[in-house]
């Protein structure tokens, strides 16, 4: 057999087409040739052709009722699309791989595939990355594997922060808190709630930060936590306009144990934001609040 990957592709294509003398497609033989061709193209750095070969190999595995192998080939094709900066294909291929893993009843790799796509797109298509992260979380939630989604919640919140969509970022930290509560992961739960409060404060929303603190304090685990005490000190400092106290809390060990993105926000909190946050909170008061 020729080792020329182009000839392998041509031969494989012929094996999948019906003719007067070929009444059924030989998907098994064709798929093996597509896989060999992909390896040959990659070895010679012909990534575009390798990607095409892997797409065809994936289709061949589908035709043989092997969704797991098909998904693996789609992930490999997605990785090549990323190398080639073909971003729409990165998303499409990883999504297809995820669907194939779901077909196998495998929630974790299905979620992982979407997570890989999201990470690849964070800088170039952040809105698409957010949707991919969200879908990856939902796959795990639906499978009762909330604990495996913690990093995905954090990653999605981080993208929202980069886009300055602070309310959305806080919402994802609260979702992380709910998931952690289901898993009895108290430390992760309390850190998530404090993170949400810091995000609201950074977004100049003292009223929402206080509401979040009050709501989360209904949960016994948070009420008794260091994170609760830190949040309380922070909110008190904001209400009193005590910039030095805000700086002190922002550098506390409790805050330093949060995600890097939240630590960065906390260290930036005092830069003239106190008055703005207080004014925003005052603007939200209705007449009853003022009487």
CA distance 123 to 143: 29
Task: Classify residue 154 by burial, with Cβ atoms within 10 Å: 0-12, 13-18, 19+.
Answer: buried
pLDDT band at 281 (very low <50, low <70, confident <90, very high): low
Of 203, 258, 210, 257, which is closest to residue 234 (Cα–Cα)?
210
Q: How many CB atoms lie within 10 A of CB 187?
A: 13
pLDDT digits (tens, 9 = 90+) for 189-233: 999 999 999 999 999 999 999 999 999 999 999 999 999 999 999
Tokens 């994170």 sit on residue: 227
Radius of gyration of the chain (CA): 26
pLDDT digits (tens, 9 = 90+) for 80-110: 999 999 999 999 999 999 999 999 999 999 9
Query: Do the Cβ atoms of 38 and 50 come closer than 8 Å?
Result: yes
Query: Do the Cβ atoms of 194 and 164 come closer than 8 Å?
Result: no
CA distance 140 to 149: 6
The CA dihedral of 85, 91, 96, 101, to the nearest 10 degrees, is 110
State residue 37's pLDDT score. Answer: 97
237, pLDDT greater than 60: yes
Own/partner contacts of 245-249, CB < 8 Å, gap of 24 or more, are 246/270, 246/274
DSSP state letters, 223-279: HTSHHHHHHHHHHHHHHHT-HHHHHHHHTSHHHHTS-HHHHHHHHHTTTTHHHHHHH
State residue 20's pLDDT score. Answer: 61
Q: What is the mean pLDDT of residues 143-167?
A: 95
Show the domains of the chain with their CATH numbers: 169-274 (1.25.40.10)
CA distance 209 to 285: 14
Query: Do the Cβ atoms of 258 and 187 come closer than 8 Å?
Result: no
State residue 3's pLDDT score. Answer: 85
State residue 271's pLDDT score. Answer: 45
- Report residue 192 as tokens: 């998530």
Q: What DSSP designation does 88 have? A: H
Of 9, 2, 67, 79, which is closest to residue 37 (Cα–Cα)?
9
Question: What φ, ψ does residue 142 adopt, rounded to 5°?
Answer: -65, -25
State residue 285's pLDDT score. Answer: 42
Query: Do the Cβ atoms of 90 and 78 come closer than 8 Å?
Result: yes
């Amino acid at each position: 057999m020729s080792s020329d990957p182009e000839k392998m592709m041509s031969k494989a294509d012929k094996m999948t087409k019906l003719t007067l003398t070929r009444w059924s497609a030989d998907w098994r033989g064709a798929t093996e040739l597509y896989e060999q061709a992909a390896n040959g193209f990659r070895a010679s750095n012909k990534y575009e052709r390798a990607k095409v070969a892997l797409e065809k190999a994936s289709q061949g595995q589908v035709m043989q009722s092997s969704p797991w192998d098909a998904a693996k080939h789609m992930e490999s094709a997605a990785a090549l699309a990323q190398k080639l900066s073909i971003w729409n294909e990165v998303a499409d291929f990883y999504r297809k791989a995820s669907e194939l893993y779901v077909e196998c009843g495998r929630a974790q790799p299905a979620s992982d595939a979407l997570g890989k796509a999201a990470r690849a797109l964070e800088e170039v298509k952040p809105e698409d990355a957010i949707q991919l992260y969200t879908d990856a979380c939902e796959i795990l939630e639906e499978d009762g594997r909330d604990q495996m989604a913690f990093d995905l919640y954090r990653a999605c919140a981080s993208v929202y922060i980069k886009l300055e969509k602070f309310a959305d970022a806080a919402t994802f930290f609260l979702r992380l808190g709910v998931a952690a509560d289901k898993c009895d992961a108290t430390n992760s739960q309390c850190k998530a709630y404090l993170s949400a409060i810091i995000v609201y404060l950074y977004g100049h929303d003292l009223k929402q930060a206080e509401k979040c603190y009050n709501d989360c304090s209904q949960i016994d685990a948070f009420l008794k936590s260091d994170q609760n005490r830190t949040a309380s000190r922070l909110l008190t400092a904001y209400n009193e306009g005590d910039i030095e106290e805000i700086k002190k809390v922002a550098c506390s060990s409790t805050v330093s144990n949060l995600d890097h993105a939240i630590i960065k926000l906390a260290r930036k909190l005092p830069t003239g934001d106190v008055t703005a946050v207080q004014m925003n909170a005052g603007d939200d008061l209705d007449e009853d609040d003022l009487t």
